[in-house]
Amino acid sequence: MAASVVDGNGGSGGLVVTELGHVKELARQLEAQLGGSSPDLCKHLASQISSIAERSISLLITTSSGLAGARKRSAVPFVKGTKKRKTMDKKRHEVRVSSAAGDHPADDGHSWRKYGQKDILGAKHPRGYYRCTHRHSQGCAATKQVQRTDEDPTSFDVVYLGDHTCVQSQWAAAAGQAAADALAPEYNGKPGTNLTVKTEGPTVEPAEQQVQGWDAPTPFCFSSTPATATASWCLVPELSPPFSAPSTSNNWGVSPATSDSNHVVSFPPFEVAGDDVQFGRFEEVMSAIDRADGDGFLDDLDIDVSSFLV
DNA sequence: GCGATTTGACCGTT
DNA sequence: AACGGTCAAATCGC
């Protein structure tokens, strides 16, 4: 993976500039708030930044021919003819998870059963294959693949495939909706703002933005696993959702109240661990925007877009 | 005994 | 043929 951002996209560059300009401003607000007395505001700002940045990335990808295709090897084979694998039509959602335990990623709230392990070419560590424990009892088709990253032994790339249709997920959905209602009521009904917390429950978006749980086509799907309930949240990027963490947790994008509550779920270009917003390549992006002087700014952005993709 | 894990074999795709 | 994903028998742990 070595694709660099090149603004070969014609008209969308300006829109991306506008979006990243918003990101830049939000980032400055966030920096001003860091260390302050309002962690919730920080989380809110971070969420907005994520949303806008991801929209920009999507713009770049969809308008840059070949980039999306070169992003990953075709681990999920192309559907062709009638012979298709069970996984072919599964949606894919990938996250990187750090675990203090070191030997396994943190609990994501679902119960998984390991059904295989493979050494992957070019990878130092084998990939584990898991499916939902309720696969047979309830026909839940969700699977996940867990692979320790080469760079960081405590980090894992977790790829979720397919929908959770088991009862546990329905329950989680209800918990997630409840958490959504509780966590940010101040945003509901505000003009110009729209918080959408997608769960795996019966309440779904009426339009094509119907997303469910893990496999939602949005970069902001994550799972929360309180001790007594599980929930998967997805934020619809088009809505620039303001977001704050549940009042019961000061974590954003992480699973609170578990034995591995200090693990990190990263949403590139930045990651959040507890109240600490850690800027990695995001700073690079901001710096590039600072250097930007018009349409050609992306030429300065020698950044692997694929590193943002989760 | 039951459920979870391990591991080699098998299958589909490239 | 190589590779990734899944199956299923053997094994393990409670």
A88 touches strand C (CB under 7 A): no
A133 touches strand B (CB under 7 A): yes
A147 touches strand C (CB under 7 A): no
Asked if residue A90 lies in contact with residue A143, where contact means CB atoms within 8 angstroms, the answer is yes
Å: A235 CA to C5 C1': 30
Rounded CA-CA distance A204/A166 in Å is 17
Residue A297 within a domain: no
Nearest Cα to A91, choosing from A142, A17, A167?
A: A142
Å: A113 CA to B4 C1': 7
What b/e readout covers A229-266, taking b as 16+ CB neighbours within 10 angstroms?
Answer: bbbbbbbbbeebbbbbbbeebebbbbbbebebbbbbbb
Asked if residue A47 lies in contact with residue A91, where contact means CB atoms within 8 angstroms, the answer is no
Sheet holding A197-198, edge to edge: A197-198, A231-235, A220-224
pLDDT by residue for chain A (310 residues), tens only, comes to 433 333 333 334 445 455 566 666 667 777 776 766 666 776 766 777 666 566 555 544 443 333 333 333 333 333 332 333 433 456 778 888 776 656 667 667 788 999 999 998 888 889 999 998 888 777 788 888 998 888 777 788 888 888 777 766 556 555 544 444 443 333 333 333 333 333 333 333 333 333 333 333 333 333 333 333 333 333 333 333 333 333 333 333 333 333 333 333 333 333 333 333 333 344 444 444 444 434 444 443 444 444 443 3
Across all strands, nucleotide nearest A114 (CA–C1'): B5
Total domains in the fold of chain A: 2
A115 touches strand B (CB under 7 A): yes
Asked if residue A310 lies in contact with residue A72, where contact means CB atoms within 8 angstroms, the answer is no
Residues A100 and A156 in one domain: yes
pTM above 0.85, yes or no: no
Backbone φ, ψ for residue A106 (5° rounding): -65, 155
Domain boundary among the residues A118, A133, A161 is at A161
**Are β-strands A155-161 and A143-148 bridged in parallel, bridged antiparallel, or unpaired?**
antiparallel
Give the residue numbers spanning the domain of A45: 14-63
What is the phi-psi region of residue A35: left when phi exceeds 0, alpha when psi lies from -120 to 50, beta otherwise? left
Å: A136 CA to C13 C1': 22
Domain boundary among the residues A161, A183, A205 is at A161
A86 touches strand C (CB under 7 A): yes
Rounded CA-CA distance A174/A232 in Å is 10
CATH number at residue A100: 2.20.25.80
